[in-house]
Amino acid sequence: MGASCDWSRERFTMDEGLSEAVRKVFVQLYEEGLIYRGSYIINWCPRCHTALADLEVEHEELDGNLYHIRYPFPDGSGGIVVATTRPETMLGDTAVAVNPDDERYQNIGTDQVLLPLVNKFIPIIKDKYVDAAFGTGALKVTPAHDPNDFEIAERHNLPSVKVIGNDGKMTSEAGEFEGLDRFECRKAVVAALKKEGFLEKIDPYRHSVGHCYRCKTIVEPNLSRQWFVKVKPLAEKAIVAVKNGKTRIIPEMWNNTYFDWMNNIKDWCISRQIWWGHQIPAWTCTACQTVTAAMETPEKCPHCGENELVQETDVLDTWFSSALWPFSTMGWPDDTKLLNLFYPTSVLVTGFDILFFWVARMMMMGIHFMGNVPFRDVYVHALVRDEEGKKMSKSKGNVIDPLNIIEKYGTDAFRFTLAAFAAQGRDIKMSEKRVEGYRHFVNKLWNAARFSLMHLDEGYAKIASDNLSLPDRWILSRLKRLTDNVSETLDSYRFNDTAAALYKFVWHEFCDWYLEAVKPILYGKKGEESRKATQSVLWHVLRNTIILLHPFMPFVTEEIWHKMPGTEGSIMVAAFPSDDFCDPKIVLDPKAESEMELIMEIITGFRNIRGEMNIAPSLALAASVQSQDEKTRATIQQNSDLITTLAGLKAFSVEQPGERPKAVATAVINGATIFASLEGIIDFTKETERLDREIKKLTSEISGVLKKLNNDDFLNKAPEEVVLKVREKYESLVEKQQKLELNLEKIKEIEA
RNA sequence: GGGCGGGUAGCUCAGUUGGGAGAGCAUCGGCCUUACAAGCCGAGGGUCACAGGUUCAAGCCCUGUUCCGCCUACCA
C-alpha cells in the first residue's frame, strides 16, 4: 500500500553478490557444525530426480488398500500377518516388528519369519513404536523406503535394502521384479503373493500420500546421501524473537502456527539434484575422502595435500538463498551503508503459505548472521480464493486471472476491492459483484471531481476564515475525522476499515450532502464572498481526499490530481495529510457537526414524508418546523435556504410550538416537529398508517429501554454515563412518541 | 490425531477494551433534480449456528454440541 519501489535495486538470488553471500553462509554453517552430509531417508521425486525438503511434500488423502500379508514361520507353518499400503516394498523388508508388551507375540517359539517371494529369513524384533492395537500388531520394516522404518532400523542395527531406484523403477535387489515401475510392481507382487497363498486379505483404506509440490508426482521415501542444516539451534532464537516481540506477526493468530512449526522442526535437507541453482561449495578429496567447504575452489586438499578435489555436483535448495534475502540484497557480507540504514527492515508482507518456506528461514538466518531480526512486522495478508472459497490452483482450473478482472473493471476498482476485502485473519472469496460495486465508486469519485473542477479555477493556498457556511465547517470537521481514521487504520494494518471509511466519506458525506448543499453557493447565489470561501474549502477537501485515496486508487486519483489547479508533480510524492500538513482550518468542529446533523435530519424527514406519501419530487411543498428550543430554531432559521433546496420546498417557516397546521404530514426529530403541507393532496388513510407504523416502532424501542431503567441492578451497577445515556434516550423516544400520537389524534379528528 | 479460522439481512461480508445490529449487491416504491440512470430520493428485511454459564447488560467473555474451511502430522 503506497509503497514506492526503487526498481534500480531489483535483485535475483543468482546475482554475483548474492551468490557470494550464499557461499559465505554455507561455509560458516559447515564450520560451525550446523551443516552436515549423511545418508538418511529423504523425500525423493522420481520425476524431478531430486531430493525434497519435508515442506516441499504435499499430503493428500487418497483411496488405497491395506494389504494383509502372511510371513510364515521358518518351518513354513502359520506365521505373522502384517498389513501394508505398499506391498511392493516388502521386497526390501529386513525385519518384522512387534510391540514388546504385545502378549500375542510373547511365546511364539521363533525369532524369525520367512520373507515371501524373496525367500529369505528376517528377524522378528520388538520396538515400542509399534501400535499393538493397529491391525495384527505386527509391522513390516523397510528401512530404505519408509522414514519410520528407517528409524527403527537404526535402533536395531538392521540392514537397508533399496529395492526402488531413483527413477522409480525396481532395482536388482527386487529380483524377478527388477525394472518394473513401482506401481506396476505393486500389481505383480500382489498377484504373486496371491498365487503362492501369502495374501490374507485386501481392505479398502483411505490414507494420506505425499506428492511433489512442483510436479505432483507421488514422492518416494528414499535412502540417499544428502546435505542437511541442523535447524534446531537456529529455530530456538527465531522463536524467542517472536515471543519477546522483536518481530511481530500480524494478525497474531499466526503466532501459534509459527511456534508449532518451529518447535517441531526437523533438519532441513538442502541439497537438490537439479541442473540449476547454487552449486554446493564443498569438495571431496578422492585421495583421502575428506570434505572441504570453502569460499573459493581450493588448490589442493588441506588434509592430505593432494590436488584431487571434486566439487559436489548437488545444488542448494532455492529457499536457502532466499533465506538470506533481507541482508544479501543489501550487500552482505560487506558492511554496507544500505545494511546499516535498512536492516532490520520495517515490514514484510506475505501470504501464510510462505510462512515456513521463507519467513521462518529468513528469521533464522537473519538472527544468526546479522545478530538481529530481519523485520519488525510480518503482515500476513489474506489469500484470494475462488467464489466457493477454494484455493486457486492451475490443476483445479479455478484460477481467476487478475488481468481479466482489471480488463473488465479497471485496476483501481480491483485494487480497492482487495483492500476492502482484506479483513485481518480472513481469506478473500473473490466476488466479481463486489468489484463491480467498487467500479461504480471509482466512477462516482470521477464525476464528483469533474463537478468540483467545474467550479475551481485556481489553487487555494489557504482556506478562507470568513464566510464559511455550515456545510463548509461540517465537511472540514468530517475530513479531519477521516484523516485521523485513515492514519490509524493504516498503521494497524486494518485496510478494510480504511477502505470503508474512505468510501463512506466520499460517497455519503462529500457527494450526497456537501456537494448538494453548496451548489447554490458555487452557482453564485450567495454572493462572491461566500463563493470564494466555499471554493477554498472544496479545493482542500478534494485535494486531501484524493491523496488519502491514492494508495487504494492510484490511477484515477493521479488523473484528477493533474487536472486540478494548483497541484504540482505527481500525487505519488504529495505529502500525506496529517496534523503537520493540514490547513489549521481542518479541525474537529463538534458544533458544526451537531448543527449539520439537525439540518440533515430535518431534510431527511421531509424526504421521508415525500417518499412514503408518493409525492412527486417536482412538486414543491410548503412546510414548517416547530421547536421549543430557541437555539434550535436559530440554527434552523439560519439554514432555511439549505433545507428549502434539499427538501424541495416552496415555503418554509420556523415557529415556536403552537397550533398544528391543517392538512399536513408530520415527522418528529430530536427537538423539533416538522410539518409538510399537503393541502388538497393529503391521503389521511396513508398518513394514519404512516404515523401508526412510526409509533409502533417507538413503542418497541421504549419498552427495551424501559426494561433497563426499571432494573435497580442496572441503575446501581452500570457506569453513570451509560445510565445517563439510556435516560436521555428514553426521554427523547417518549417525547417523539407523544408528539406523533398528538398528530395522529388530530388527523382522526379531522377525518371524523 | 493435533492446531487455527468461520457459521450475523436473499448473497458476499464488516462489527478491537461487553452497553444503540451495519455495509455493498440483490429486492420493493418514486424520480431524466443543470457531476453522475455505472445515478438520485425513500422503504422493507436478521431468536447474530445450537445449548448452557458469567454479568445489571453478551454477536462480542467461558464451557459443551454441531456443521464448514484451512494448516499440520511418522499410525503401517
Averaged over A257-271, what is the pLDDT?
90
Measured from Cα to the C1' atom, the residue closest to B69 is: A389
pLDDT value of position A421: 85
pLDDT value of position A389: 67
pLDDT at residue A686 is higher than 70: yes
pLDDT at residue A426 is higher than 90: no
A516 secondary structure, DSSP code: H
Q: Is the dihedral of CA A244, A249, A255, A258 positive or negative?
A: negative
A86 touches strand B (CB under 7 A): yes
A82 touches strand B (CB under 7 A): yes
pLDDT value of position A700: 84
A686: Cβ–Cβ under 8 A, 6 or more apart, which residues?
A612, A613
Distance CA A298, CA A516 (A): 80
To the nearest whole percent, how much of chain A has pLDDT over 90? 62
CA–C1' gap, A441 and B61, in angstroms = 38
What is the per-residue pLDDT across A348-370, written as a single tens digit (0 to 9) for each?
A: 998 888 888 899 999 999 999 99
CA–C1' gap, A666 and B36, in angstroms = 32
Whether omega for the bond prior to residue A344 falls within 30 degrees of 0, making it cis, is yes
A597 touches strand B (CB under 7 A): no
Strand-pairing partners, residue A224, are: A40
pLDDT band at A746 (very low <50, low <70, confident <90, very high): confident
CA–C1' gap, A610 and B28, in angstroms = 16
A137 secondary structure, DSSP code: S
Tell me how crowded residue A526 is: count the other CB atoms within 10 A of its CB: 17
Q: Which nucleotide is nearest to A423 if distance is taken from CA to C1'?
A: B14
A624: Cβ–Cβ under 8 A, 6 or more apart, which residues?
A652, A653, A654, A655, A661, A674, A675, A677
* Burial class for A450, CB neighbours closer than 10 Å (0-12, 13-18, 19+): exposed
pLDDT band at A627 (very low <50, low <70, confident <90, very high): very high
In order of A29, A423, A494, the CA distances from A438 in angstroms are 52, 16, 18
Instruction: Give the per-residue SS3 of A464-497.
Output: CCCCCCHHHHHHHHHHHHHHHHHHHHHHCCCHHH
Cα A349-A354-A358 angle, rounded to 5 deg? 90
At residue A662, what is the residue type?
K
pLDDT band at A611 (very low <50, low <70, confident <90, very high): confident
User: Which residues 168 to 227 of A reach strand B, CB within 7 A?
Assistant: 207-208
A43 touches strand B (CB under 7 A): no
pLDDT band at A579 (very low <50, low <70, confident <90, very high): low
Averaged over A52-63, what is the pLDDT?
88
Averaged over A28-41, what is the pLDDT?
94
User: Which residues 289 to 348 of A reach strand B, CB within 7 A?
Assistant: none
Contact A481, A588 (CB under 8 A): yes
CA–C1' gap, A431 and B14, in angstroms = 16
Averaged over A334-338, what is the pLDDT?
96
Q: Which nucleotide is nearest to A455 if distance is taken from CA to C1'?
A: B35
User: Which residues 535 to 594 of A reach strand B, CB within 7 A?
Assistant: none
DSSP A204-266: EEEEEEEEETTT-PBPEEEEEEEEEE--HHHHHHHHHHHHTTSSEEESTTHHHHHHHHHHT--
Distance CA A58, CA A36 (A): 25
pLDDT value of position A580: 66
Strand-pairing partners, residue A112, are: A123
To the nearest whole percent, how much of chain A has pLDDT over 70? 98
Q: Is the ipTM of this complex over 0.90?
A: yes
pLDDT value of position A461: 86
pLDDT band at A135 (very low <50, low <70, confident <90, very high): confident
CA–C1' gap, A702 and B42, in angstroms = 25
Average pLDDT over chain A reads: 91
User: Which residues 253 to 272 of A reach strand B, CB within 7 A?
Assistant: 253, 256-257, 260-261, 264
Averaged over A435-454, what is the pLDDT?
92
Q: Which nucleotide is nearest to A431 if distance is taken from CA to C1'?
A: B12
Q: Which nucleotide is nearest to A701 if distance is taken from CA to C1'?
A: B20
pLDDT value of position A387: 66
Q: Which nucleotide is nearest to A254 if distance is taken from CA to C1'?
A: B4
A447 touches strand B (CB under 7 A): yes
Contact A329, A12 (CB under 8 A): no
Contact A232, A17 (CB under 8 A): no
pLDDT value of position A752: 66
pLDDT value of position A396: 66
CA–C1' gap, A64 and B3, in angstroms = 27
What is the per-residue pLDDT across A537-546, written as a single tens digit (0 to 9) for each?
A: 999 999 999 9
Q: Where are the beta strands (DSSP E) in A571-630?
A: 621-626
Q: Which nucleotide is nearest to A133 if distance is taken from CA to C1'?
A: B75
Task: State the cell numbers at A324.
Answer: 538470506
Averaged over A333-344, what is the pLDDT?
96
A464 touches strand B (CB under 7 A): no
Distance CA A695, CA A556 (A): 47
* Burial class for A590, CB neighbours closer than 10 Å (0-12, 13-18, 19+): exposed
Contact A7, A555 (CB under 8 A): no
CA–C1' gap, A618 and B33, in angstroms = 8
A718 touches strand B (CB under 7 A): yes
pLDDT value of position A750: 76
Nucleotides of B under 7 A from a protein CB: 3-6, 12-16, 19-20, 23-25, 29-33, 35-36, 38-44, 55-57, 69-76
Residue A79, classed as helix, strand or coil, is coil
Averaged over A470-477, what is the pLDDT?
95
A618 touches strand B (CB under 7 A): yes
CA–C1' gap, A57 and B72, in angstroms = 12
A104 touches strand B (CB under 7 A): no
A512 touches strand B (CB under 7 A): yes
Measured from Cα to the C1' atom, the residue closest to B31 is: A617
Measured from Cα to the C1' atom, the residue closest to B40 is: A512
pLDDT at residue A402 is higher than 90: no
CA–C1' gap, A250 and B69, in angstroms = 21
User: Which residues 653 to 712 of A reach strand B, CB within 7 A?
Assistant: 693, 708, 711
What is the per-residue pLDDT across A709-733, written as a single tens digit (0 to 9) for each?
A: 988 999 999 999 899 989 988 998 8
